[in-house]
Amino acid sequence: MKPVLTQFQKSLSLIIIPVGFVLVLVYGFTFISIVFGLNNFYGNLYKYYHVSALSFSIYNLLVAFIAGILTVRLIKGIINKKQRYVKRSLWIFLALSLILVSGEIVLHLSLEGKLL
């Protein structure tokens, strides 16, 4: 017997999918703004945090890429009703959340000047 998606997994996935889209849009646009040198809020955000443009753009690219993979995996898991995809994607989302929280803490510490 194949494992079937529980209602909790479906509901949680349907909540996380829009969050993944928002992460891809915001962090992806920040990456594009920095790479192309757009003179807007997102393009100059690395100056606000007092970090290099390269490191900040790599951070934004990684977050956008992981969030995009997560969103695609969740959609694929729900459509194909594969519990394995959904379960692993939820773990990936947990890891992404931890990376985002720790990354934002580092950025805010660099803003306050308490980081090296």
Q: For the CA atoms of 75, 80, 85, 90, what is the dihedral angle to 10 degrees?
A: 40
pTM of the model as a whole: 0.84
pLDDT digits (tens, 9 = 90+) for 56-109: 899 999 999 999 999 999 999 899 888 888 888 899 899 989 989 998 888 888
Phi then psi for 82, rounded to 5 degrees?
Answer: -105, 115
pLDDT digits (tens, 9 = 90+) for 79-90: 988 888 888 889
Closest-CA residue to 92 (of 31, 12, 35, 37)? 12
How many Å apart are CA 114 and CA 22, to the nearest integer?
Answer: 30
Asked if 34 and 53 touch (Cβ cutoff 8 Å), the reply is yes
Report, as an integer, the average pLDDT of 25-51. Answer: 89
pLDDT digits (tens, 9 = 90+) for 7-21: 888 899 999 999 999
